[in-house]
Amino acid sequence: MAICFDKIFTKNEQIDLYLASVRFERGVYGVMEAMHFFWNHIVAKPSKAESFFLIERVSNINSKILVHKIVQTARYAKTLGMFTDADLDELLMLYRDATTSGKIKDLDGGMALLSNFFHH
């Protein structure tokens, strides 16, 4: 099936199809719907923090904040020079807004841990 799929769609078309259909949250499919769900609007050119946030949400099927995974990945991005302190501040704000609005569950004080990491 994959060979047939590759003959019908280019790699860019496959990526577009994936981004239009991937599950971000229960009942939220596709990157546009995810942006609207989390931020109440579509972001034409997502920032590094917004992109990170959405990518992390794709692999999270329980609507929870996975602090250790977020910290590990963000720390690595900062070590590589891909993230600045301003990017981390924006990322923290995105998670804070999502947990405050109830779109992501913070069941074990994850936001406090995340805030502690991002401010040190």
Asked if 113 and 70 count as a contact pair (C-beta separation under 8 A), the reply is no
Q: How far apart are CA 63 and CA 101, in angstroms?
A: 12
Closest Cα partner for 114 from 42, 104, 25, 35? 104
For 92, the token pair is: 């923290």
Tokens of 15: 């990526």
Please tell me the pTM assigned to this model: 0.87
Higher pLDDT, residue 57 or 60: 57
Task: Give the pLDDT band of residue 11 (cuts 50, 70, 90).
Answer: confident
Give residue 45's pLDDT. Answer: 96
Residues 6+ away with beta carbon under 8 Å from 75: 117
